[in-house]
Amino acid sequence: MIKNILTKTFETAYNSAPFSKIENTDFLPAFKKAINDAKSEIDAIVKNEDIPTFKNTIEALDFSGEQLDRISSIFFNLNSAETNDTIQKIAQEVSPLLSEFSNDITLNEDLFKRVKAVYDIKDSLGLTIEQQTLLDKRYKGFARNGANLPEDKKQKLRDIDKQLSQLALKFGENVLAETNAFEMLITNEDDLSGLPEGAKEAAKQLAESRKKEGWLFTLDYPSYIPFMTYADNRELRKKLALAAGAKAFKGDALDNQDNILQIVTLRFQRANLLGYKTHAHFVLEERMAKTPKTVESFLNELLEKAKPAAEREFKNLEDFAKELDGIDRLEKWDASYYSEKLKQKLFSLDDEKLKPYFKLENVINGAFTVANKLFDLNFEEINTIDTYHNDVLTYKVTNNKGDLISIFYADFFPRAGKRNGAWMTSYKPQSIKNGINDRPHVSIVCNFTKPTKSKPSLLTFNEVTTLFHEFGHALHGMLANTTYPSLSGTNVFWDFVELPSQILENWCYEKEALELFATHYETGEVIPMDLVEKIKESSTFHEGMQTLRQISFGLLDMNWHANEAPDTIKSVKAHETEAFKNTTLYPEVPENCMSTAFSHIFQGGYSSGYYSYKWAEVLDADAFEYFKEAGIFNKNVADKFKNNVLSQGGTENPMTLYKRFRGQEPKPEALLKRAGLLK
Furthest-apart CA pair in the chain: how many Å? 82
Coil/strand/helix, residue 89: helix
Contact in structure between 61 and 110 (CB atoms under 8 Å): no
- The per-residue DSSP string of 237-300 comes to HHHHHHHHHTTT-SSSTT--HHHHHHHHHHHHHHHHHTT-SSHHHHHHTTSSS-SHHHHHHHHH
**H helices present in 351-413, as ranges:** 351-354, 360-375
Contact in structure between 83 and 176 (CB atoms under 8 Å): yes
Q: Is 76 left (phi over 0), alpha (psi -120 to 50) or beta?
A: alpha
The secondary structure of residue 14, as a DSSP letter, is G
- The per-residue DSSP string of 57-79 comes to IIIHHHTTTHHHHHHHHHHHHHH
Cα 518 from Cα 469, distance rounded (Å) = 17
The count of C-alpha atoms lying within 13 angstroms of the C-alpha of 547, restricted to the half-sphere facing its C-beta, is: 31
Q: Buried b / exposed e across 320-330, counting CB within 10 Å, b at 16+?
A: bbeeeeebeeb
| Distances, alpha carbon 678 to alpha carbons 499, 528, 559, 674, in Å | 22, 30, 28, 9
Contact in structure between 483 and 431 (CB atoms under 8 Å): yes
Nearest to 287 by CA among 670, 627, 661, 607: 607
Q: CB neighbours of 476 closer than 8 A, spacing ≥ 6?
A: 489, 490, 497, 500, 501, 646, 649
User: Hey, which residues are catalytic here?
Assistant: 470
CB-count exposure of residue 3 (10 Å: 0-12, 13-18, 19+): exposed
Contact in structure between 295 and 554 (CB atoms under 8 Å): yes
φ, ψ of residue 481 to 5 degrees: the values are -150, 65
Cα 77 from Cα 490, distance rounded (Å) = 16
φ, ψ of residue 289 to 5 degrees: the values are -70, -30
SS (H, E, C) 584-653: CCCCCCCCCCCHHHCHHHHCCCCCCCCCHHHHHHHHHHHHHHHHHHHCCCCHHHHHHHHHHHHCCCCCCC
Coil/strand/helix, residue 571: coil
φ, ψ of residue 476 to 5 degrees: the values are -60, -40
Pairing of strands 377-381, 431-433: unpaired
Contact in structure between 134 and 484 (CB atoms under 8 Å): yes
